[in-house]
Amino acid sequence: MSDVKKVVLAYSGGLDTSVILKWLQDVYQCEVVTFTADIGQGEELEPAREKAKKFGVKEIYIDDLREEFVRDFVFPMFRANTVYEGEYLLGTSIARPLIAKRLIEIANETNADAISHGATGKGNDQVRFELGAYALNSNIKIIAPWREWDLLSREKLLAYAEKNGIPVEMKHKQGGSPYSMDANLLHISYEGRHLENPAAEAEEDMWRWTVSPERAPDEAEYLEIEYRHGDPISLNGKTLKPHEILAELNRLGGKHGIGRLDLVENRYVGMKSRGCYETPGGTILLKAHRAIESITLDREVAHLKDDLMPRYASMIYNGYWWSPERVTLQTLIDQTQQTVNGWVRLKLYKGNVIVTGRDSKTDSLFDPTIATFEDDAGAYDHRDAGGFIKLNALRMRIAANLRNKK
C-alpha cells in the first residue's frame, strides 16, 4: 500500500495525462486532484474538467494564469534579451516554473502528499518541474509515471486508454501519432514524426500561428511599442495588460510570417533534439527591447548584460528559475531597466522585424550635439582622441618594441 493518499496532477486532458490520471488511481490507489493551467495555449479547457469528473476527481483546478505568466515570467526574461544557444526564445522553458509553483500551491491548499506530471524521462521538462517543486517545497513527493511504468509507446498508451474507457481524440487513432506540441502565449513548439530527421524540412501545414513569409502581405505594417522600466506597457498608443500585448503581437507577427524557427538544441539531459517553434510576438519584443536599450543603457552596462545573458538563458532552459543564482541575477537585470523608458517603432514585412525609430524623452543617452557629423561648436574635442588611442595602444607598443629588438 502506497503512503501517498492524495496527489496533484498537472493535467491537460490529453492522452498522456488522462492515462496518468487512471494509472495513479490504479497503482497508487490515491485521490487525484487535477490542475489545468490556462497560459494562452488557445484550447478549450472545459473538456479537461469533464474528463476528470468522469474518473471521479472531486477537486478540479482550471486556472487562468495568462497575465501572471507574461507579467512575472515572460517579461522579466525579456528584460535580459534572453536567447538560448543563439536562437531559442525559451517558450516552453519559461512556462514550467509557473506550473511548478501552482502545483505546490495547490498541494498545500488540498493537503496533498505528492505532485505528478506527464514529462518523459528523456526530456527537459521533468527537470524543470521537479527542480522548481523542490525549490518551493523540499519535502514534496514527486511521481513521474514515465520513469515508473512500462507504457513507453503511443500504442501501449492507446491500448491502456481503450481498456480503461479513456476517451481519445480521433486524431490520435488515425494516421499515426501527431506532432508532440506545446503551446502557450509565448510560443508553440513541434517535435516528433519526421522532425526527428534533422535533414527533413518541416511540412508547411504543420505551422499553426504564422503564414509563410512568401504568403505574407506585400505591404509592410508599422507598430509602436512604449516601454516603462524595460517592460512594454502600450501598443500603438493603447495601454494593455501584459498578456494582451503579447497576444496582439502574436497576431500581427503571425500575419506577417514572423517568428518561425527550426532548431537542433542541446537538452540538459545530454542528447540533441530537433524542434520547430513559432514565437511571433516574442521575436518582435526581442527586437524592440534591444532597440530601446540602445539609447537608454550605458555602454558597459549593456555589454555586461550581453555577457551574462547566455548563462541566464541556460538557467531558465535547465530549470533553475527558482534558484538563488537566477534570483540574484534577476535583481541585477531589473536594476538596469530603471532607465529603459521610451518608445520603439517597428516595421513588419515578410518574416522581418525592422526597427525604424526609437526615442526616450526622459532617459536617452544619445546626445546629438556630440554625435553629429556637422560642426559641434566645441562639444567634442577631437584632440582628446590622440591621447586616448596612445594609452590604449601602450601595451601593444611595448610588445612591438620587444619584437623589434629580437
Catalytic center residues? 16, 96, 125, 180
323 appears as a binding residue in the annotation? no
Residue 102's nearest CA partner among 138, 139, 64, 71 is 64
128 appears as a binding residue in the annotation? yes
116 appears as a binding residue in the annotation? no
10 appears as a binding residue in the annotation? yes
The residue written with cell numbers 505528478 in the block is 116
265 appears as a binding residue in the annotation? yes
299 appears as a binding residue in the annotation? no
Residue 7 backbone dihedrals phi, psi, to 5 degrees: -135, 140
Burial class (CB in 10 A: 0-12, 13-18, 19+), 338: exposed
364 appears as a binding residue in the annotation? no
401 appears as a binding residue in the annotation? no
120 appears as a binding residue in the annotation? yes
67 appears as a binding residue in the annotation? no
277 appears as a binding residue in the annotation? yes
236 appears as a binding residue in the annotation? no
224 appears as a binding residue in the annotation? no
2 appears as a binding residue in the annotation? no
320 appears as a binding residue in the annotation? no
189 appears as a binding residue in the annotation? yes
176 appears as a binding residue in the annotation? no
349 appears as a binding residue in the annotation? no
Q: Give binding residues for ATP as ranges.
A: 10-18, 37, 118
Q: Give binding residues as ranges.
A: 10-18, 37, 88, 93, 118, 120, 124-125, 128, 180, 189, 265, 277
Q: Give binding residues for L-aspartate as ranges.
A: 120, 124-125
Q: Give binding residues for L-citrulline as ranges.
A: 88, 93, 124, 128, 180, 189, 265, 277
